[in-house]
Amino acid sequence: MADRGQGGSSVSDELVFAADTAVVPISDHCYDASLTDRWNALGGTPNGGYMLAVCLRALSFELDRPDPLVASAYFLRPGRHGPAQVHTDTVRTGRRVSTGQARLVQGPAEVVRVVASYGDLAISGGRTRVRALPPVLPDPDQCTDMTGGRQLAGVTIIDRVEYRSVRAPGWTGGEPSGDSDFEFWMRLRDAGDTDVFTLAMLVDAAAPAVLELGEVGSSTVELTVHIRARPAPGWLACRVSTRYLINGLHEEDFEIWDSRGNLVAQSRQLGIVPTG
Amino acid sequence: MADRGQGGSSVSDELVFAADTAVVPISDHCYDASLTDRWNALGGTPNGGYMLAVCLRALSFELDRPDPLVASAYFLRPGRHGPAQVHTDTVRTGRRVSTGQARLVQGPAEVVRVVASYGDLAISGGRTRVRALPPVLPDPDQCTDMTGGRQLAGVTIIDRVEYRSVRAPGWTGGEPSGDSDFEFWMRLRDAGDTDVFTLAMLVDAAAPAVLELGEVGSSTVELTVHIRARPAPGWLACRVSTRYLINGLHEEDFEIWDSRGNLVAQSRQLGIVPTG
């Protein structure tokens, strides 16, 4: 694992992520959480996937099954660094999945509304038939840091998540390519295992593909992630695509494949670009 | 429009759909609805997209904006024909979108949980850039009825929705092709205009693509639909794809393009196949 050379911390970012998404039960169906400044996205506020992961950690206490299979998050307003509460409810305990709801609130304001269905990814439920291939990429060591080593003001998530691709996206050099489909490697720096909650953050952890179409930002209205398997340790191969920017709204599709070549997460979000 | 020759009814199926998804306010945030037997899917129970459309009709009263931009439905148990109530709440009225929640209940049981964000599709919010083409299909008149004229026991939705493609899927003849990507035409029979609520039903109205992989059925755990534009009248060109069946769970991606060649709806659902 790479030496970060940042104060010599020996704590892996996976452990930092686990601590930063930890929730503490304070009463029935209510948990204390704290949104740290270590997972900031563009805009300097907590990344949406990070806030989703906090909600999913709380739901893993609420529900009787361990793994989120599908989760939908509606982002209502920007999160703030500091204390938050997560209120959870069981919607239905079914034969094969259990469904719950989580609301992340800060003070009087609800920030994120989540509905999710949980199951057990260790139980085989049927046949497997995969009709697409993982991203084809050179070894991570032969790829370039997608941030180009640049700092983006307030964007702390790139201190903890590592992105590597054949070349940096055009927008990072001020020249959007017009091609909003690409593949790249991603992992937590100094990562050991990656768990299912980390996947829910990582599908939202890269810069929006719509930046490659010349937009300067995007806010997520809604994100749904399907967790398809528990990931193996190692680099994750990612594929992102935005095909339809229509009246300032766009989807972003995201896939994450693990080091064994298995699809582990698939997400789609609806984003909205800033108006002049 | 085709003569259905079924009792000579002159009421268009769009009007039938509007009546069958109508909701009546009975108290604050509560609406009466009735699930009819005219929109049954495989299994003889009300189609999930139909129940979602009922919820979206109720939310259009709850929220201050007219069009669902994105809606996520969690299907908790099969619906039954007969009375239902929809309970709605405003989650957040924002600057550009309004978000609400709907719960469709029958007796003591919650059947569907929906979260959705509404906006106004008549307001241009930004740039348009489309990086994919509509399905390429022969004229509907030169296509074949995808059901092969067969009746499927209890599946009444095919009496009201028309499906045409170059050839019927292999599974309809007992020989699944293994190809779960295809394109076809769809519309309500005798349709006039198609509205945004109908789109939410139509993305779930075709037989699951996973049947072409040899599965015999699929239940939707969750469906998220993005409504991208109000559709023009006429046939709708559709594209469906299932690429990842993993341990009995699969996504189904769906696109609907209108007769002007504009993408009007995009959906993804997580389905679960029956176990032996």
pLDDT digits (tens, 9 = 90+) for B70-103: 999 999 999 999 999 999 999 999 999 999 999 9
Q: What is the least distance, in Å, from the CA of B1 to any CA of chain A?
A: 31
pLDDT tens per residue across span B191-242:
668 899 999 999 999 999 999 999 999 999 999 999 999 999 999 999 999 9
Q: What's the pLDDT at B2?
A: 37
Bridge partners of A71, per DSSP, are A116, A225
Query: Which of A76, A92, A226 lies at the smallest CB-CB distance from B251?
Result: A226
Please give the pLDDT value at position B10: 58
Quickly state the pLDDT bin for A43 (edges 50, 70, 90): confident
Q: Quick one: closest CA in B to A243, which residue?
A: B131
Q: Where are the alpha helices (DSSP H) in chain B?
A: 13-20, 48-62, 196-202
Residues in chain B within 8 Å Cβ distance of A262: 246
The pLDDT assigned to B5 comes to 37
Give the model's pLDDT for residue B3.
37
Q: How confident is the model over A196-228, as pLDDT tens digits?
A: 999 999 999 999 999 999 999 999 999 999 999
Smallest Cβ distance to A127: which of B128, B248, B251?
A: B248
Contact B229, B271 (CB under 8 A): no
Task: List, in order, residues 6 or more apart from B111 with CB less than 8 Å away.
Answer: B51, B75, B76, B77, B78, B79, B84, B104, B105
pLDDT class for A8, splitting at 50, 70, 90? very low
Q: Do B242 and A131 touch (CB under 8 A)?
A: yes
**Residue B124, pLDDT score:** 79
Chain B residues with CB under 8 Å of A123 CB are 247
pLDDT score at B226: 98
Residue B7 scores a pLDDT above 60: no
> Which whole number is the average pLDDT over A19-39?
97
- Is B127's CB within 8 Å of A76's CB? no
Query: Who among B128, B181, B272 is closest to A247 (CB)?
Result: B128
Report the pLDDT value the prediction gives residue A10, as an integer from 0 to 100: 59
Task: Please answer yes or no on whether A266 and B251 come within 8 Å at the CB atom.
Answer: yes
Q: What's the mean pLDDT in A26-46?
A: 96
Round the average pLDDT of chain A to a whole number and report it. Answer: 93
User: How do residues B113-155 score in pLDDT, each as one tens digit?
Assistant: 999 999 999 997 799 999 999 999 999 999 999 987 777 788 9
- A96-101 own/partner pairs: CB under 8 Å, 24+ apart: A96/A125, A96/B272, A97/A65, A97/A69, A97/B221, A97/B272, A98/A63, A98/A64, A98/A65, A99/A63, A99/B74, A99/B76, A99/B113, A100/A59, A100/A62, A100/A63, A101/B113
Instruction: Name the residue with higher pLDDT: B149 or A39.
Output: A39
ipTM entry: 0.95
Amino acid making up residue A108? P
Residue type (1 letter), A159: D
Q: pLDDT higher for B131 or B4?
A: B131
| Nearest CB to B249; choose among A94, A125, A215 | A125
The pTM of this model reads 0.96
A4: confidence class by pLDDT, cuts 50, 70, 90: very low
Report the C-alpha gap between A41 and A21 in whole angstroms.
16
CA distance B158 to chain A (A): 28
Is the pLDDT at A5 greater than 60, yes or no?
no
Express each pLDDT in B21-50 by its tens digit. 999 999 999 999 999 999 999 889 999 999
